[in-house]
Structure 1
């Protein structure tokens, strides 16, 4: 069979990128590791079929194997993640590939917005880290027209999340949520690595929520990432509710956490309705049921941040609540319901509309949405695009 004249020097680079040694790679490809070592050293060449398999398991485009030298990868957003009190250093291949996919979608949508709407998004980038959390939260609440009645009418956290997503997307801010890379269910995202991503852009800002997280945390992440856009600083975040201190060098994350807390659980309302004679479980359950529609943990964390309860009491309560949480599972239902969630409703509608109007090829529409080209017509019917 014809050999693929790959650059053998790409293999060690790709293995390092994927955090995979030759033995693990050989096991996945079901070949002898000695053969793989010969490919790496340049003593032998794989067949085209073997090279395609090699690229697949290393999570790189097939063409990368033929490059003269390994490409230099850059992170398109600021990395705000911390481990303990230190800045996180490494991005997994799954997170890198997710970022590349998000940038591809965001770039396409930016051109779409400029062509059909013209104006940039005016609500973002008008504040900075020098503004108070209260000032930013007040503006976000006003722009989303989020009232106390809205909170009461939402039956649960999921409904409040969906309400906010709908209002956020009215400003051409894309909100995407998934627990996997693209549409590959075998590449699940690591919740310990990140919880949310925001990409700042004048025309097509984007928020991504790690769908592996529980609903309670997803809502907090949504507003946290929105705060990033409001101050014009997108990035990658991991802000666990069990963490007491964010790195002192990371004032941006601290600010966005405070903004999210104030939007979801306004301080004045919380203080007016807090009853210290009741247990934390009792009072947070009552406030969740009657006022806020966020999780009891978010309410308790807010109470801790404004010194209504101690950190010790909060962590004990948090540990008990975690035992009750159920991690989200795959949809298991109609896949056409999942596509607009994974890609955002606004983005999905735009791509399908362009495909139906012959503005883009079905092949390209399928690639953008992570579906087969043959699915576009059925998807259009399902979401009401004619």
Structure 2
């Protein structure tokens, strides 16, 4: 039971509120009823059978874990992270079968790169694939629009992109960006990128391209694609370099940068590259225009400024369910499920589960919003 609450990320205050007899259950002075045990298992998102094991089960992250705290891998994953990965794996499996049945070809850039490849060259390939050169970005009014456009372009290249800040549709289970920012599930036929939507949009655009770099490497990975802290993991370093170069080419920055990392200059460059000011600041550091300590301080200051703008209402708000949910699912995935269901290939109850819906009316509304392929 102690394992269950730690796995669920409960604090002592949460334990006292949601399981007031918890201590008595632990020391044996009281025993939970079956109903209390069922409620406890449901609340901690733990299968009730696991509570009867002689010792807690080992639940490793089911994909390579590239996150580090210092030089060590992060310890026990949360149930929210595990459930998110399992859900994406299930959806990827369905889509792989769908793609195979419909004769989709393997995606040629999956596994096309190696760590020994120059990140600048790979970044150029990424921009060309996505039609995301600097001049291509002029059609976007801001980097926030560029984020939405980037999702569409990655999906058009054959990669499922899922952006969600909660577990499924459960608004009570918010994902923690401090635990992970994203992951890639690599498959030659159905590669998938998941981006933690609870993170700032400034971080999401970088994470998205970082995870796409993992797809190029052909290796699934759970990542902490951080802009402001170093990593000793070779693959994470390489993917960070590819993402940064793809978004803000250094050769162009050296010409465009005016030498003063003021807010006005960061904003000007952010408009040029259609990325956040935080990404621009990172590239100024990469170009050795700033020393590490100065960069760290400026990054912290800029992050506070950006967060203050968000709290003041700029870019805030969850939006309509039928606008947000397709991004959680991947439009490409949702459209395939809807099409296959309407054609009789997938049963409606299975489609509801895949799409995270419970009512037929919700399914119908998604059909109207997304359409069929």
TM superposition score normalised by structure 2: 0.89
* Greater alpha carbon shift after TM alignment, 216-225 vs 15-24: 15-24
Of the three residues 364, 367, 372, the one matched with 1:380 is 367
* Whole-angstrom CA distance in 2 between matches of 1:365 and 1:69: 36
Q: CA separation of 1:223/1:115 partners in 2, compared to 1, >3 Å: closer, same or farther?
A: same
Question: Using the alignment, how far apart are the partners of 1:296 and 1:123 within structure 2?
Answer: 30
For residues 330 and 56 of structure 1, do their structure 2 counterparts lie closer, same or farther at Cα, with a shift above 3 Å needed? farther
1:151-206: CA deviation from partner (whole Å, max 9, x where unpaired): 22211112111121111111321111111111111111111111111111111111
Alignment of 1:17 onto 2:7: yes
Q: Deviations over 1:71-103 (max 9, x none)?
A: 553422111111234332221121111111111
- Partner residue in 2 for 1:270: 253
Q: State which structure, 1 or 2, has the greater radius of gyration over its C-alpha atoms.
A: 1
- Whether contact under 8 Å (2:123, 2:243) holds in the other structure is yes
Count matched residues. 367
The structural deviation recorded for 1:18 is: 3.1
Match of 1:192 in 2: 178
Does 2:231 align with 1:246?
yes
Q: Over residues 215-269 of structure 1, what are the superposed CA-to-partner deviations in whole Å (9 max), with x where a residue is unaligned?
A: 11111111111001101122111132221x212xx11111111001110000111
Q: Structure 2: where are the runs of 5+ without partners?
A: none
Deviation at 1:29, TM superposition (A): 4.5
Distance 1:216 1:16, change over 3 A: closer
Question: Given that residues 7 and 77 in structure 2 are in contact (C-alpha distance below 8 angstroms), is that contact kept between their aligned partners in structure 1?
Answer: no
Question: Does residue 231 in structure 1 map to residue 236 in structure 2?
Answer: no
Q: Take 1:293 and 1:267, find their aligned partners in 2: how far apart are those partners?
A: 15
Contact 1:228 1:256 in 2 (8 A): yes
Aligned pairs (5 A) from 1:364-379: 364-374=350-360, 375-379=362-366
CA contact (8 A) 2:285 2:292 kept: yes
Q: For 1:1-386, list aligned pairs within 5 A.
A: 11=1, 14-19=4-9, 25=15, 27-29=17-19, 32-33=21-22, 36-37=25-26, 46-47=33-34, 49-62=35-48, 64=50, 72-243=58-229, 245-247=230-232, 250-276=233-259, 278-289=260-271, 291-326=272-307, 331-374=317-360, 375-385=362-372
| Cα separation, 1, equivalents of 2:9 and 2:278 | 35
8 A Cα contact 2:129 2:157, kept in partner: no
d(CA) in 1 for partners of 2:287, 2:202: 20
* TM-score normalised to structure 1 length: 0.86
Q: 1:180·1:188 contact (CA, 8 Å) conserved in 2?
A: yes
> What is the Cα deviation at residue 309 of structure 1?
2.6
Local SS of the residue matching 1:325: helix
Q: How big is the shift at 1:380?
A: 0.6
How far apart in 1 are the matches of 2:41 and 2:185?
28
